[in-house]
Structure formats: structure tokens, C-alpha cells
Structure 1
Amino acid sequence: MDHEVDGEPLRVWERPALTPQAGPALTPRGRTVVLVHGFEESWEDWRVLARHLPADVRLFALDLPWRSGSRHLWADRGASTAWLERALELLPVRPDVVVAHSFGATTQLELLTRRTPSASIPTVLVAPVFRPHDRPIDALFFGEAIERFRAVLADGLRAQLGPRAQKIPTDIVEAMIGKVRERVEPHGFLQFYATLGRGPGLALHRIEAPVLLVSGTHDPSAPPAAIDALMASIPDVRLHQDPGLTHFCQLQQPVRVAEQISAFLEATPLHHYDKEAISA
């Protein structure tokens, strides 16, 4: 499904649920999950993981303004939380669970603190980017944030290339990374930095939805202090940390991540509704 909102294309990919007798189901009784990609990613980055989720789960993957290839001028027409809400409103059903990665996870975390209908959706935050209270916004933090941002861009490109990255000469890969940085900076970094800077001020204690954190033990985007802060502040939260998970674990370790999502689905009550049925 392709839409245009305030001049920005918003796309929704759907994988209908499969029922044993009826085949693809338009309004399945099973779970409905929406997938939210990170910075310089796209809905297609969920394809591999989607193969490992139960067939009776109805999937929607959003293609958001911070997608790969964007010049990241979208903030002039709304913060990332506003864009995520707009995309969620395009769905025909209210999802049972949101699964969000990296910058998308940080955006969903902020949305959970708002008093909106979307704020009550159970959520899996995969490799969330978060700044704990003990990190002041100063010149040192700014410099570290730039370096980390650039490292994530490079790691993301390599993750998207997959095995092909090993066959491409190093200088070609570095040139590709340079082209991404040239396009993304400075607008993309400013939005990333602004979102990161708001983290310590979020009213995490107001989150009512259950939340699962999935991250790598050594992921610098979610250091121990950040995970500790999230665990201490979100009322209904659980954690799965794995030393084998990278920041782009949805691409590089999809089976492990899918197992955690599936377990969360099993433990989460079903509350989604069909918008068309309600309006009728």
C-alpha cells in the first residue's frame, strides 16, 4: 500500500496471515504485528526475519521517512513520533504488537510515553538507541555521537550487503559508505541527535504497555547504563540480552530475534481491532 502524507511517501508492506483451511486471511484471528525500521533502513530489512515468524501472524512493515535513500528533511513536517503515528493510522487494524529497531525503537519508546491510542500497544524494542541520565550533552558527548552515528551507518550498509560485502573490494565499500554519509549528513545526524538528546527526559514511568528489550550485550548503542535505566523506569518491562546479537541483529541473527518476538506474542493478550468493522 502506497500513501502520500504531507508530501512524504509512506508505504506499508503486508504479509497476510495463513490459516490452515482458508489460506491467506484478510482479518485473521491470530496476532497482528507491525514492524518499524531504523535509520537508513527500509521495510525490506525485515524480510529475512519475517520468514522466521509464525505463518498465522499478520505482518505489516512500514516504510518511514528516515528510510534508506532519504535526504532526511522530513523533520520540517513533524518529529519522528508524529510520522510513526501517521503511518500507524494508515493500517486497517490496530496491531497487537509493534516491533521496532534502533532509531525506530527510540521513536516508538517516545511514542509509548504519550497519551495517544498508539501508546498502549505492546512493544518489542530491538537494539534501542538510548542515552542514560548520567551522560550530559556536552562537546564530548556530541563528538562521540557523531562517531557512533557514522559507525552505525557503516555497519548498517555492511549488514544490508550481507555476504556480498566480503566479495566487494574494501575501497569500494568505503566509497559506498562515504556516499551514504555525504547524503545523510548533516540533516540526518541532527534528527538522530535531537531524538537521542530527549531520552533522559522521557516520562518512561507513564508507559502502560508491556515492553520487551532485545539487545546485544556489547552493543554500544545500548550500553549497560542505558539498559539499566530503561529496566528501572518502564513499569512492565522484560529483557533479553545475548552476547551474540549485533546492533543489526534483525538482519544478522534473525532466528534469535524472531524467537523472542514469538515468545512475546504468546505471552501478550490479543487486543487488536478491525478499523473497517468499527466504522461500519
Structure 2
Amino acid sequence: MSLRRWIKTAAVMAAVLLCALGLWLWLDPFRVVLADYARQRVLAGLTRNAVKIDDHRWVYAYNDEAPAGAPTVVMIHGFTGSKENWYPLAQRLRGRYRLFAPDLPGWGESERHAGGDYGFVAQNDRVARFIEQVARKPGSEVVLLGHSMGGGIVALTAARHPRVVDRVGLFDAAGVRFQDNAFGLAVLRGKNPFAVSDAASLRRYIDIVFYDDAAKPVIPWPADRIYIDRRKRDAGFEQSVLDKIGRGDERFLPGEAAADIRQPALLLWCRQDAVIDVSAMDLYAARLPQAQRVLLDGCGHMSIVERPEPAAQAVNRLIAEGRPR
């Protein structure tokens, strides 16, 4: 083949690939965001997988490269969050433990059913099923970690399904009546302080959940616009979940159930948390006298992203110290 003909062929192939990429993104622009999530997952040393459990398809990230008999760490994200929130912590735990970070049903890449129940109670039962069917391995302790809404779910799971949880960690956890702050009062008024509908509300959302400027994510164009559009479409779903976990009868169930948790426990908060006020840690501690308490400074609600190194150290201590139930 002559050089000119080779160049022409290569140009045609490049044009075809570019058109195919354009069509692929046109059909689902959110794939731009998912591509960056995949990049983050690879850097954290995790693999993506999916599983059908009962009536929901779960998508999760995992790493099973750990010594024989190593503990299994399952990480549950919070409201408007996803498995990706745990990647900085997972990167620091990799190699010591088996790691599983799922998208909860209704969130991220996992399946959502119109009119489905995605409150604390329903999700805690689903988490127990995920552990039983996917994460649990004979001879391996299960360490269940939860952040924010995920912390409330995890508290219920540890209390109501103790056979599948050997140790528990609550990070900036929802589920107790903490001291009033702007976020909590807005929720009680029927608002969604996390709502995102434009560039300004996206910036406000990031500023609420992060305190450390260095840790705040930068979302470049066009990913920012694609993310905003996705959050706008999810507004009704977010409001329905917040109605259950922030204003409904379930909102304080995790704190009440915490008194039944007998497993070794960890409570970790950031002093500058503007979402779940740090007073919540004392409320949980009153019900969990066995819990190790870690209060970090210079960070906000996203402790697992803003301070992943001390968070990882706290998890290591939780696993190393104290006898499982």
C-alpha cells in the first residue's frame, strides 16, 4: 500500500471512529462523567462488576488482592453520593483487605425503580443481602463502613443483621437529632440543600460538603454541564429520599438502633462538617460506648475524600483493636 493510500485509509478510519464516539456520547452524555469515574477507579486499583440481587441490579467496585483470611471491608456511600466517594480511602486500604464499594440501589450506576423505597430501612436490608451474596467470605470478618446517609443505613444493618457484620464504622453519619445548623433546618423546611440545577448551585453544593479548598473537585466542561443535567433529572428522586430519611418517621431510627450494636465500632467526624453537625458524634457515642472516636480538623462533610490518610489509619485501628462480637 502506498503512503498516500495508507494516509487516506487512516483518515477515513479516524473519521468513522470519531463519528461513532459522537453517537455514543449523544445517546448518553453522562458517559463523559462515567469515563472519568473509570479513570479514578483504575487509579485506586479497583475493578468494576455488577450483580442482580432480588429486584435490583447493583454495580460495585472491588479489589480482592489481599492475604488469605484478610478482613472484608464494605463501604456504603451517602445521599447524592456513589461508590466513587470511597476511592481515596480504598486506595490506602488496598492490599491489606478485601474491598467492596457498591452504588446503593437507586444511586450511581445501580438500578432504580420508579416509586421504589430507598429509605434507611429498605436499604439496610438490601445491604445485608449484598454482604451475604457478594462480599462475605468464610473465614473473613466483615467490616461495614458508612458515610452520611450510608452511615445511618450501616448503623441499622449492624444492629438488625449482626450475623453479617463483625465491625462497624460510622463516618459523619446521619440518623440522629444533631444540633441545628443551616443544612438541617433547610431539610426540616422541606428543602433539598444538595439540589443542583445550574453552575451556581453546583458550586454551592460543593462548598457545603467540602471545607478544605484543596480537596474540592474541579469539574471541567463539558462534564460540569452533563453532571448538572443529570442532577436536575434526579431532583424528584432526591426529594423523595430526603422526605424519608430527613423528615419522615425513619429519620432517627439509625440512632435508636445504635444502642443494639454490640460489634467493635468507629465514629469518625470532621470538626467543620456543615451537613451532619459534629454534635451527632456525641449522640452516637452515648449509644456506642465501645466505639473508638476520631475527630479530624480542617475538613467538612467529606472526611473520606478530604482526609483519606487519617481515615484509613482509623479503619486499621478498628480492625486491629478490640475483639469481634
Which category of TM-score, normalised to the shorter sequence, fits these structures? 0.7 to 0.9
After TM superposition, give the deviation of residue 264 of structure 1 in Å. Answer: 1.3
Indicate yes or no: 2:100 matched with 1:52: no
Instruction: Name 1:257's counterpart in structure 2.
Output: 311
Deviations along 1:107-151, one digit per CA (max 9) or x if unpaired, are 111222325523x4311111212331777xx99652275225668
Secondary structure of the corresponding residue to residue 2 of structure 1: strand
One-letter code of the match for 1:10?
A: W
Alignment CA distance shift 1:82-1:156 (3 Å): farther
Instruction: Name 1:200's counterpart in structure 2.
Output: 252
After TM superposition, give the deviation of residue 164 of structure 1 in Å. Answer: 9.2
Instruction: Name 1:211's counterpart in structure 2.
Output: 265
TM-score by length of 1: 0.74
Alignment CA distance shift 1:129-1:60 (3 Å): same
Measured in 1, the distance between the counterparts of 2:167 and 2:309 equals: 21
Alignment CA distance shift 1:103-1:3 (3 Å): same
Deviations along 1:152-173, one digit per CA (max 9) or x if unpaired, are 99329997xx98954737x984
Larger radius of gyration: 2
Instruction: Name 1:5's counterpart in structure 2.
Output: 53
After TM superposition, give the deviation of residue 100 of structure 1 in Å. Answer: 1.6
Do the aligned partners of 2:209 and 2:275 also contact (CA within 8 Å) in 1?
no
Match runs of 1:145-224 below 5 Å: 146-147=192-193, 154-155=205-206, 165-166=217-218, 168=220, 173=224, 175=225, 178-197=228-247, 198-201=250-253, 202-224=256-278
CA RMSD, Structure 1 to Structure 2 (Å):
3.6
Indicate yes or no: 2:184 matched with 1:132: no
One-letter code of the match for 2:142?
A: D
One-letter code of the match for 1:125?
A: L
After TM superposition, give the deviation of residue 240 of structure 1 in Å. Answer: 0.7
Do the aligned partners of 1:38 and 1:104 also contact (CA within 8 Å) in 2?
yes
Instruction: Name 2:157's counterpart in structure 1.
Output: 111
Measured in 1, the distance between the counterparts of 2:175 and 2:185 equals: 18
One-letter code of the match for 2:232?
A: E
Indicate yes or no: 2:147 matched with 1:101: yes
Alignment CA distance shift 1:59-1:117 (3 Å): same
Identity %: 18
TM-score by length of 2: 0.65
Measured in 1, the distance between the counterparts of 2:208 and 2:268 equals: 21
After TM superposition, give the deviation of residue 74 of structure 1 in Å. Answer: 6.9
Measured in 1, the distance between the counterparts of 2:65 and 2:189 equals: 45
One-letter code of the match for 2:127?
A: L
Measured in 1, the distance between the counterparts of 2:277 and 2:167 equals: 23
Indicate yes or no: 2:57 matched with 1:14: no
Structure 1: tracts of 5 or more residues without a match: 20-27, 272-280
Indicate yes or no: 2:127 matched with 1:84: yes
Secondary structure of the corresponding residue to residue 239 of structure 1: strand
Measured in 2, the distance between the counterparts of 1:31 and 1:139 equals: 39
Measured in 2, the distance between the counterparts of 1:12 and 1:230 equals: 28
Instruction: Name 2:69's counterpart in structure 1.
Output: 29
- Give the aligned length: 256
Alignment CA distance shift 1:252-1:140 (3 Å): closer
Secondary structure of the corresponding residue to residue 156 of structure 2: helix
Measured in 2, the distance between the counterparts of 1:46 and 1:248 equals: 10
Structure 2: tracts of 5 or more residues without a match: 1-48
Do the aligned partners of 1:72 and 1:184 also contact (CA within 8 Å) in 2?
no
Secondary structure of the corresponding residue to residue 298 of structure 2: coil
Alignment CA distance shift 1:266-1:165 (3 Å): closer
Higher relative contact order (CA 8 A, sep 6+): 1
